[in-house]
Structure 1
Amino acid sequence: MKQQITCFLFIILTTAAMSQNKGNYAPVNGLKMYYEIYGKGAPLVLIHGGGSTIDVTWGRIIPQLAQHHQVIAVEMQAHGRTADIDRPFSFEQDADDIAALLQYLHIPKADIFGFSNGGQTTLQVAIRHPEVVNRIIVASAFYKKAGAYPWLWDFLAKGSFEGMPQPLKDAFLKVNPSQEALRASHDRDLHRMQHFQDMKETDIKNIKAPTLILCGDHDVITPEHAVEMFRQIPGSRLMILPGGHGEYLGELLTLSPAHKGDFAVVPLVESFLN
């Protein structure tokens, strides 16, 4: 009975949080950026992974996070409902877009939570726009190529649109039914990662925002690199969790079919943010 009541309450909270969705577009640096807002409280920006949408990365934990935060979930350039435009496609540009979005929303400072490619963007926000950052959470991300396993770079070197996971294609087309936009998104992401440039260690060491580093013990980044970032960023915190790339967040591709209920990482994140 207790388990049934818990599940019932979770469904109610999930429905209530998702019903607050205020999807809209913001003009930022020539881009019409799609974003959604859930809940109330201190602002928390969520930045998805490469080739993903809001739901792919964050759909399972937004209801939990929205209980204590004003969650601002975005879709970056060429992802989901945010169209691609003719300009550079880089983590630096993404960081500038996040800063411009916060200015548009009249939010002077926010916590930033980025997964995978979104984690690279989060690092760049802290480096390029420290004035808009309160705390950052960098999940399953790296700042240099050596931080990922060699198999990742071999996989990307042979990357093709046909090899893009079908669940990612389906999730994209669900919110943007354009095959042309989907292919552009894939090609942009692939090219960026094939030509990934290491961030400067001096920039990483100069990050002033309180930082939490997350990764899975079977992630695309090595645990050693997570520890290295933990050592490089002054006063940072580190959590290495069981699972693959984003499994601890409920990321769509690595979500365990057996998982039910809340994700244990969320209370740990809440403890860091508070």
Structure 2
Amino acid sequence: MKPVHTGYATVNGLKMYYEIHGNEDGTPLVLIHGGGSTIPSNWGTLLPLLAGHHKVIAMELQAHGRSGDRDAPESFEQDADDVATLLKDLKTDKADLIGFSNGGTTALQLAIRHPERVRKIVVISANYKREGLIPGFFEGLQQATLKDMPQPLQEAYLEVHPDTGGLRIMFEKDRQRMLQFKDMADDQLRAIQAPALVMGADRDVVRPEYILKMGRLIPHAHAVILPGTHGAFIGEVCTAEKGSPLPGIAVALIEDFLGK
């Protein structure tokens, strides 16, 4: 899908790539991708379904895709600050957020750190506790190398940024962030005042019971579990199933939530 506008913004010393899609007079809707992703690889299926009713703002975070890097590790807090600064630069006072996987954790941090920028949040397949991930996740990641990164994600990165060195840096920074993942306190989620829709899959990387727990902890939240694996119900490039009705179902649930 061709964007209405593309550009770069300097946010907290980082050159960040962003795109604007859809109805520029619509309610701003921010899409925050997961680890190792680009805008097309994460949102290629959902973006056209959302652009009809919203001014969709999508960006590529530190070290990802067409964005630059900084001489510092990645963190969910820094990503949240970067997105908040981008919204300020784009003169967007308040927006709805959809975050997938690591991007969902970033969306939680935005709601905690920059509540003035957030109207509603949709948190998809995101984690807030180490024990919320499936058994063996961290052990497998400890041994992982670039060759273990899903090939569709490698190809998607190189398509927009043909630099194998940058690809390796992104992989290592994503890997280190997850290996050093620190639990969020339950009280941090209880402090979120933005209405939230927490979504996950029944065979997700995040255990379904933790998706439901997040839905109970955030005061104004609903939770839903859909069938499939990590990213399948949004048509993410690694798990998309041709002809699946699930992305359409997910968008209908999201639109119903955002419209209330």
When the two structures are superposed, what TM-score results if normalisation uses the length of structure 1?
A: 0.91
Single out whichever of 261-270 and 105-114 deviates more from structure 2.
261-270
Q: Does 1:79 align with 2:51?
A: no
Task: Tell me how far apart the structure 2 counterparts of residues 192 and 110 of structure 1 sit (CA, whole Å).
Answer: 26
Task: Call closer, same or farther: CA 1:262–1:162 in 2, change over 3 Å.
Answer: closer
Aligned partner of residue 253 in structure 1, secondary structure: coil
CA-based RMSD of the aligned residues comes to 1.3
**Aligned residue in 1 for 2:76:** 91
Query: Displacement of 1:239 after TM fit?
Result: 1.1
Aligned partner of residue 263 in structure 1, secondary structure: helix
- Which one of 29, 42, 52 corresponds to residue 67 of structure 1? 52
Q: Does 1:200 align with 2:158?
A: no
Single out whichever of 243-252 and 197-206 deviates more from structure 2.
197-206
**Aligned residue in 1 for 2:200:** 215
Count of residue correspondences: 257
Q: Which amino acid aligns with 1:150?
A: P
- Which one of 133, 140, 154 corresponds to residue 139 of structure 2? 154
Task: Tell me how far apart the structure 2 counterparts of residues 260 and 226 of structure 1 sit (CA, whole Å).
Answer: 22
Query: Displacement of 1:88 after TM fit?
Result: 3.8
**Aligned residue in 1 for 2:9:** 26
Task: Tell me how far apart the structure 1 counterparts of residues 2 and 104 of structure 2 sit (CA, whole Å).
Answer: 27
Q: Does 1:111 align with 2:93?
A: no
Task: Tell me how far apart the structure 2 counterparts of residues 47 and 262 of structure 1 sit (CA, whole Å).
Answer: 17
- Identity over aligned pairs, percent: 51
Task: Tell me how far apart the structure 2 counterparts of residues 126 and 62 of structure 1 sit (CA, whole Å).
Answer: 22
Query: Displacement of 1:51 after TM fit?
Result: 0.4
Aligned partner of residue 199 in structure 1, secondary structure: coil
Q: For 1:122-169, what per-residue CA distance to the aligned partner results, in whole angstroms no more than 9, with x for missing partners?
A: 000001000100000100001111111112222212111111111111
When the two structures are superposed, what TM-score results if normalisation uses the length of structure 2?
A: 0.96
Runs of 4+ in 1 over 4 A off after TM superposition: none
**Aligned residue in 1 for 2:31:** 46
CA contact (8 A) 2:15 2:69 kept: no
| Structure 1 unaligned spans of 5+ | 1-17
Q: For 1:90-125, what per-residue CA distance to the aligned partner results, in whole angstroms no more than 9, with x for missing partners?
A: 000000001100100000000011000000100000
Task: Tell me how far apart the structure 2 counterparts of residues 104 and 87 of structure 1 sit (CA, whole Å).
Answer: 22
Q: For 1:158-185, what per-residue CA distance to the aligned partner results, in whole angstroms no more than 9, with x for missing partners?
A: 1111111111110000000001110000
Query: Displacement of 1:49 after TM fit?
Result: 0.7
Query: Displacement of 1:19 after TM fit?
Result: 3.1
Query: Displacement of 1:87 after TM fit?
Result: 2.5
Task: Call closer, same or farther: CA 1:201–1:194 in 2, change over 3 Å.
Answer: same
Q: Does 1:120 align with 2:144?
A: no
Considering fraction of residues, name the structure with more strand. 2
Task: Tell me how far apart the structure 2 counterparts of residues 42 and 76 of structure 1 sit (CA, whole Å).
Answer: 22
CA contact (8 A) 1:81 1:175 kept: yes
